[in-house]
Amino acid sequence: MVKNEIATKLNVSEAKLLLRWGLQNCYGVLTRSTKPERIRENLNLFDFEITYMDMKRLNQLDNGLWTF
């Protein structure tokens, strides 16, 4: 799967990858967790960047559905 491949390459979780993807697409990103270590991980999204080509691959996964 594309998300897993890119996350592994960047040495981050898929969740962190998708949070960063949202930021790089200028989306408002909201996280939710009660575990302090997970909250810290979710807020630390600026220690890596998704390359243009990987962003392009992730954008192709869009199936046109919105989540509210």
pLDDT (0 to 100) of residue 40: 85
| Domain ranges, ordered by start, for the chain | 2-50
Separation CA 13–CA 15 (nearest Å) = 5
pLDDT (0 to 100) of residue 67: 66
pLDDT (0 to 100) of residue 26: 92
pLDDT (0 to 100) of residue 68: 62
pLDDT means per 10 residues in the chain (68 residues)? 93 93 90 87 89 94 73
